[in-house]
Structure 1
Amino acid sequence: MRSLLALLIMTLALAALCCCEKDPKDPSGSPGADSIKITKEVANAFVKRQKRSTLYERYFEYYKSPMEQMHERCENYPPCDYLSDQIGFSMAYNRFFGRY
Structure 2
Amino acid sequence: MRSLLALLMVTLALAALCCCEEDPKDLSGSPRAASIKIKKEVANAFVKRQKRSSLYERYLEYYKSPMEQMHEQCENYPPCDYLSDQIGFAMAYNRFFGRY
> What are the ranges of 5 or more consecutive residues in structure 2 without an aligned counterpart?
1-12
The alignment status of 1:27 with 2:6, answered yes or no, reads no
Which residue number in structure 2 is paired with residue 55 of structure 1?
55
In the superposition, the TM-score normalised over structure 1's length comes to: 0.67
Change (3 A) 1:93 1:41: same
1:33 deviation in Å? 2.8
1:56 deviation in Å? 1.2
CA distance in 1, matches of 2:71, 2:99: 13
Which residue number in structure 2 is paired with residue 41 of structure 1?
41
CA distance in 1, matches of 2:38, 2:72: 44
Change (3 A) 1:22 1:46: closer
The number of residue pairs the alignment matches comes to: 84
The alignment status of 1:82 with 2:78, answered yes or no, reads no
Kindly provide the CA deviation profile for residues 21-43 of structure 1, in whole angstroms up to 9, marking residues without a partner as x. Answer: 896x6736322333222211221
CA distance in 2, matches of 1:98, 1:82: 17
Which residue number in structure 2 is paired with residue 67 of structure 1?
67
1:96 deviation in Å? 1.1
RMSD: 2.7
In the superposition, the TM-score normalised over structure 2's length comes to: 0.67
Identity %: 80
